[in-house]
Amino acid sequence: MHEKEFNLDEIDEFELDREYQKRVIERERKFFEELKTENEVFDKRTLMILFSLLAGKHIDEFIGVISSGKEAVVFSAKKGRRYRAVKIYRVATCDFKTMHKYIQGDPRFHLRKSSRRQIIHAWVEKEFRNLRRAGEVVNAPKAILRRENVLVMELVGKRGVPAPRLKDVEVDYEKFYEIITRDMKKLYCEAELVHGDLSEYNILVKDDKPVYIDFSQSVVTQHPLSKALLIRDVKNICNFFKRKGVDCDYRELYEYITGEKLHPIDEEIAQL
């Protein structure tokens, strides 16, 4: 059959619109198939958000699942020649009580009514703002947009392949310890943030440098939980680097970051 020449000048707006819609529907179909093969189940509202990202100008296509955990799924996606990571919180399985506790003490948020969805939205909003704030002083993916339980950020990696976690690669551990501890101090003193879940799982390695991710539970330094979270962070980091043969001590690291001595009573409170 002779195909009609595709001349943009000859098609009217209605036809263009139809072409566009056809492409969007095709992408949606592909995405649905992908979800099914990955055995992912999202509620209707989340699917609508994902479709609205495809229909709008934010994402051209979803590529695949990078990580699928209890609370969130992370997809890789493409927009033009750029790659994105799309983090989707599972509304059904998130730990609301903990989320609420972290949000409540944050002076940036005022949660009066607190349905499950509202808590998740605040959680994503918090992660978005934390990423932006952290990104000013350390390497972190650029936060692009948030919509309800969905966060779109820059994909840390090369040509769509996500960078490995610090846990999964060999690096110069002495050098990394130095960079990471310097970054923790910058986060604390300049961005006034405590990561709160810092470990070899939430640090990616790109171009032989650390890139920090997963700032959802991060808190500002004036938050009532910040001390306990920082103690947990310094312990996690020192445990990891000790195993790699680096001579380090979490109390010294705490003092280096905050300029204050770590009192045994604080450590006890942090364990509660």
Residues that are catalytic: 197, 214
Report how far residue 61's alpha carbon sits from residue 77's, in angstroms, rounded to the nearest whole number.
6
User: CB of residue 267 vs ligand ATP: minimum separation in angstroms?
Assistant: 25
Distances (CA, A) of 251 to 34, 172, 258: 47, 23, 11
72 binding ligand ATP? (CB under 6 A)? yes
Q: Is 65 in the site for ligand ATP (CB under 6 A)?
A: no
**C-alpha pair distances (Å), 252 with each of 83, 244, 262:** 39, 18, 8
CA pair distance 222, 220, nearest whole angstrom: 6
Rounded CA-CA distance 117/150 in Å is 12
**Partner that binds at residue 264, options ligand ATP, Mg ion, none, CB closer than 5 to 8 Å by kind:** none
Note whether 91 binds ligand ATP by CB under 6 A: no
Q: Which of 127, 148, 200, 214 binds Mg ion (CB under 5 A)?
A: 214
Largest distance between two CA atoms of the chain = 82
Backbone phi, then psi, for 64, in 5-degree steps?
180, 180
Q: Which does 165 bind (CB under 5 to 8 A by kind): Mg ion, ligand ATP, none?
A: ligand ATP
Told to check if 66 binds ligand ATP by CB under 6 A, we report yes
How remote is the C-alpha of 154 from its chain's centroid?
A: 9
- Is there binding between residue 153 and ligand ATP (CB under 6 A)? yes
67 binds ligand ATP (CB under 6 A): yes
Gap between the Cα atoms of 165 and 139, Å rounded: 14
Residue 51, interface with ligand ATP (CB under 6 A)? no
The residues in 199-228 that bind ligand ATP, with binding defined as CB under 6 A, are 201-202, 213-214
Binding segment (CB under 6 A) for ligand ATP, from list 52-60, 114-122, 157-165, 224-232: 157-165
Q: Provide, rounded to whole angstroms, the least separation between the CB of residue 165 and ligand ATP.
A: 5
Minimum CB distance to ligand ATP, residue 14 (Å): 39
